[in-house]
A and B are shown apart, each in its own frame.
Chain A
Amino acid sequence: MTPALQATALTVPGRLAKVSLALGPAELVAVVGPNGAGKSTLMQALAGLLPASGDILWNGQSLPRIPAQERGRRLAWMGQEALFEFGFPVREVVAQGRFAWGDDPAGVAEALAAMDLVDLGDRPVTRLSGGERHRVILARALATQAPLQLWDEPVAQLDVRHALEVYRLARQLVERGNTVLVSLHDIRAAYRFDRVLVLDRGRLVGDGPPHAVLTADLIRTVFRVEATFTTSLVPELPAGPG
């Protein structure tokens, strides 16, 4: 089976060193690592937004051969920064996700609803809270309906309810055959994913199911903290339509 996203010896000088990975279709993958480990760089490089050496294949096709517009249809990237200088209404920013499709509005309404933005549709994005702005750019990524979704710390600024909805949404996308790669600042959230990649100082030091990868040893080496595995408060969305 052709991987949905594959990288070989991906290198960005000083930030990412020879990272090789392959993500299958319908895989839900998390990236964790301490600050500065290269999570954002990895995502930007995979999305073709940074000059990087090494090979990147999207669905078996070499990235440099894919024209700009086609890239917009096949991969959605949600960055960490959600700063807006111009006060476009929320609805229009989300609709920008349809640029590569000639602004055909398919999926915009669903994306707004999925990110709980329907009531904010006409609000200028300059007048939103940090968390709301992140929901806007995530909705824009969803609106692309691209089968590859790369989200860089989507929940860092979200309240617990919206964060859980992001995880549920990611799971739903994967069940429909999409590939979702999410970077996380909180390693505890990695247990909600099928597979976790661990980055440390630009190197890939772990790759596999979270229970197998996130051992006390690895956490001590990479994050320089002691891990105790206990039961503690684990918030979940209520069952049924919430």
Chain B
Amino acid sequence: MKTRAALPLLGLLLAAAFLASLAFGELRLGPMQVLDALVGRGDSLSRTIVWDFRLPRTLVGLAAGAALAASGVVMQAFFRNPLADPGLLGVSSGGALGAVAVLALGPSLGLAAASIWTLPVASVAGAFVATGAVILLAERGAGTERLLLSGVALNALLGAGTSFLLTISAGHFEVNAQILFWLMGGLENRSWEHVWMGVPIILLGCLLLLPMGRALNLLSLGEQSAQSLGVDVRRLRRRLIVLATVLTALATAIGGIIGFVGLVVPHALRLVFGPDHRRLLPYSMLGGAAFLLACDLVTRLFPIGLRLGVVTAVVGGPFFLWLLRRAR
């Protein structure tokens, strides 16, 4: 497909998903009502719905989707393996464990209301521990099996930690419900607090990643050859892993564990537009944001208790199996 059409196309998709995300819900708003409310006109009910409820949710979904897809692109190039994904490798689980630890242990430690930053910081810390473990367990350029098996082991280990925290807080219904929220991912009840918690830094992270596409191209074809061609590989790798981990952790902090976005979105876009990371990075950010908003819409349009993480998994699981069958 013509790559020139990609940016406008993906931009249009995202704009449509953005507007739909503001329009649909228990009370359906027309497109003009949404636009009016956005600029502060129209009736006060739709203004309240749009500004206080749907816009924070939409912005959180947009940022989380962009962050997860971008970090998927980075991890695939970093590990030189097109099947790498922050969820499969356990980085999201690490972020969730950090967040769950704060939720479960916070009340007894007096942390809960300390600051809106406690949760994202704990999530970032948890994600870094997981990333460190993946790097140790599966060297770069490691085969698919080794990488995925490390992810399986790490996910099991971190999941055990989360289950343990879930069990010991079983007496506190509210805490338990919150923890379950993290585990299944979701954008319900997102407030402006969540927006401030994650969106600005995610935006900054995405902007910092964009100019790295050229070097990512070289790195994705081999570390030593990239170094020999003039890339400062050590510095590049350090930056990449920090950015990918922070992006995953913040997405997890504001939306819970949302799997498969980092795998499905870059893959689909690579199939259509080719592997050049200079394009794949911005395309994946736009595409990831649109994909997550669309999945969130599904949970709202079919209010049968579908969670966001469930929808992305229902789309992503079969796609992943198809990729595995297709690989080599």
Q: Does B229 contact A (CB under 8 A)?
A: yes
Size of the B side of the interface (Cβ < 8 Å), in residues, is 24
Known: A85-B80, A86-B275, A99-B218. A44 touches B230 (CB 8 A): no
Decide if A73 touches B230 in the complex (CB within 8 Å): yes
Most buried by B among A71, A72, A85: A85
Q: Smallest Cβ distance from B76 to chain A, in angstroms?
A: 8
Chain A residue nearest in CB terms to B225: A79
Decide if A49 touches B230 in the complex (CB within 8 Å): no
Q: Does B227 contact A (CB under 8 A)?
A: yes
With the chains together, A48 CA to B227 CA distance in Å?
9
Chain A residue nearest in CB terms to B220: A86
Q: Smallest Cβ distance from B151 to chain A, in angstroms?
A: 17
With the chains together, A72 CA to B225 CA distance in Å?
10
One of A31-39, A90-98, A183-191, A205-213 contacting the partner: A90-98
- For A15-45 the 0/1 string (1 means CB < 8 A from B) is 0000000000000000000000000000010
Chain A positions within 8 Å of B44 at CB level: none
With the chains together, A138 CA to B46 CA distance in Å?
63
Chain B positions within 8 Å of A85 at CB level: 80-82, 220-221
Q: Smallest Cβ distance from B244 to chain A, in angstroms?
A: 17
Chain B residue nearest in CB terms to A95: B217
With the chains together, A8 CA to B14 CA distance in Å?
59
Interface of chain A residues 161 through 187 with chain B (CB within 8 A): none
Chain B positions within 8 Å of A144 at CB level: 229
Chain A residue nearest in CB terms to B215: A99
Decide if B230 touches A68 in the complex (CB within 8 Å): yes
With the chains together, A71 CA to B224 CA distance in Å?
13
Decide if A76 touches B228 in the complex (CB within 8 Å): yes
Q: Smallest Cβ distance from A141 to chain B, in angstroms?
A: 8
With the chains together, A66 CA to B232 CA distance in Å?
11
With the chains together, A47 CA to B233 CA distance in Å?
14
Decide if B231 touches A77 in the complex (CB within 8 Å): no
With the chains together, A48 CA to B224 CA distance in Å?
10
Q: Does B106 contact A (CB under 8 A)?
A: no
Chain B positions within 8 Å of A112 at CB level: none
With the chains together, A48 CA to B274 CA distance in Å?
32
Chain A positions within 8 Å of B225 at CB level: 77, 79, 137, 140
The answer, among A72, A76, A81, A87, for a CB contact under 8 Å with B222, is: A81
The answer, among A67, A77, A92, for a CB contact under 8 Å with B228, is: A77
Q: Smallest Cβ distance from A238 to chain B, in angstroms?
A: 33
Q: Does B52 contact A (CB under 8 A)?
A: no
Interface contact tally, CB-CB below 8 A:
76
Decide if A88 touches B224 in the complex (CB within 8 Å): no
Chain B positions within 8 Å of A44 at CB level: 224
Q: Smallest Cβ distance from A146 to chain B, in angstroms?
A: 9
Decide if B214 touches A99 in the complex (CB within 8 Å): yes
Chain A positions within 8 Å of B193 at CB level: none
- For A108-142 the 0/1 string (1 means CB < 8 A from B) is 00000000000000000100000000000100100
Chain A residue nearest in CB terms to B83: A85
Chain A positions within 8 Å of B217 at CB level: 88, 92, 96
Decide if A100 touches B230 in the complex (CB within 8 Å): yes
Most buried by B among A70, A72, A77, A97: A72
Known: A92-B276, A93-B221. A103 touches B214 (CB 8 A): yes
With the chains together, A67 CA to B77 CA distance in Å?
24
Decide if A72 touches B82 in the complex (CB within 8 Å): no
The answer, among A83, A84, A96, for a CB contact under 8 Å with B229, is: A96
With the chains together, A97 CA to B226 CA distance in Å?
9
Chain A residue nearest in CB terms to B228: A77
With the chains together, A71 CA to B232 CA distance in Å?
10
Most buried by A among B77, B81, B224: B224
Decide if A88 touches B276 in the complex (CB within 8 Å): yes
Known: A85-B80, A96-B217. A68 touches B275 (CB 8 A): no
Known: A86-B275, A92-B276. A79 touches B222 (CB 8 A): yes
Chain A positions within 8 Å of B220 at CB level: 85-86
Chain A positions within 8 Å of B81 at CB level: 85
Interface of chain B residues 201 through 255 with chain A (CB within 8 A): 214-215, 217-218, 220-222, 224-225, 227-233
User: Across chains A and B, which 4 residue pairs bring their CB atoms closest together, nearest first?
Assistant: A72-B230, A100-B230, A68-B232, A77-B228
**A-B contacts, 11 listed (Cβ < 8 Å):** A44-B224, A67-B232, A69-B230, A79-B222, A85-B80, A86-B77, A86-B220, A86-B275, A88-B217, A88-B275, A99-B229
Apart from the given pairs A49-B224, A68-B233, 10 other A-B contacts in the complex at a CB distance below 8 Å: A47-B228, A68-B232, A69-B232, A73-B230, A75-B228, A77-B224, A79-B222, A81-B222, A96-B217, A140-B225
